[in-house]
Homo-oligomer: A and B are copies of this chain.
């Protein structure tokens, strides 16, 4: 089995290194999550993790064979991750910029909230290029979409600093 890491502080992006040298973002990780689940049962790392800020990782000691409680825990975590990947699939398949960006914001908001941070005052640690890569858009479109949401009064923003003004309205956008 491969090595697992617990993310204690900071944030990461999981990227796939394209053959053309272009990196494509698969997801973002915040404290409290386990890094390396997709490599479980595989000795090779299929993705790269890049820190978005000063970050504290903690190697998880794997006692090897026979630790039943740990294995059950691992299975539970991987199930959760698989279900969240399903959500990601749904988000990407809608093929509509506004919905993708809003879903991303709500997702980030939930992550921040779970960390005890504000769910409405978001300081995004990743660049627009990363967000765009993750959502299957261009960074210009991400910017424009956020501008539109701001003009509708749902949020206020300045670059990567976003303040959600009407959370319910944002959620509503996903059903338009």
Contacts and interface: CB of A to CB of B under 8 A. Distances in A.
Q: How many copies does the complex hold?
A: 2
A94 B136 contact: yes
Contacts of A92: 89, 92-93, 136
A83 B136 contact: no
Given A92-B93, A136-B95, A83 B26 contact: no
A82 to B, nearest CB: 4
A149 B108 CA distance: 39
A173 interface: no
A92 B100 CA distance: 12
Contact of A41 (B24, B76, B86, B90): B76
Contacts of A82: 37-38, 40, 78, 81-82, 85
A145 interface: no
Interface in A47-104: 47, 65-66, 68, 71-72, 74-83, 85-86, 88-90, 92-95
